[in-house]
Amino acid sequence: MPIYGFHCLCGAELDQYFKMDDNKQVQCACGRQMVRDYSFNVKADIEPYKDNTLGYVKSRRHKDQLMKDKGVRIVDKSEYPKHVQEGMNRDLDQYKHRKRKGENIKFYA
């Protein structure tokens, strides 16, 4: 079931699941009809989880808002120091090599 975003003139925002054939109309708590946000990038929503930096994350939209509020951004791989990039590439090469050999690879956190 897809998730749709809605907003109201009062500033309220809401993510709501609907079946594809449902009439997608939502009433805001203030009494107004909410307007659907149209997005060309369709993503399934995520299960809520606890993040060490952001706290409790309920949805992708919520995560984006928390990141904005806390001044946190996703760091691009090209921004990592050179030695970190080399280590990541080396680990990936070792993983691919072991996978080709058919080894059972386990990851530990």
Asked if 35 and 59 sit in the same domain, the reply is: no
Asked if 35 and 82 sit in the same domain, the reply is: no
**Model confidence pLDDT, tens digit, residues 38-91:** 765 555 567 888 999 899 998 888 999 999 999 988 888 788 888 888 888 888
pLDDT number for residue 68 = 93
Asked if 35 and 53 sit in the same domain, the reply is: no
Contacts of 30 (CB under 8 A, 6+ apart): 8, 10, 12
User: What are the tokens at 100?
Assistant: 């080709």
**Residue 85: domain span:** 45-101
pTM: 0.38
The distance from CA 92 to its chain's CA centroid, rounded to whole angstroms, is: 24
Q: For residue 14, is it within any domain?
A: yes
Number of domains the chain contains = 2
What distances in angstroms separate CA 1 from CA 24, 41, 91, one per listed residue?
13, 16, 37
Q: What is the mean pLDDT of the chain?
A: 82
Asked if 53 and 35 sit in the same domain, the reply is: no
The distance from CA 55 to its chain's CA centroid, rounded to whole angstroms, is: 14
Q: For residue 74, is it within any domain?
A: yes
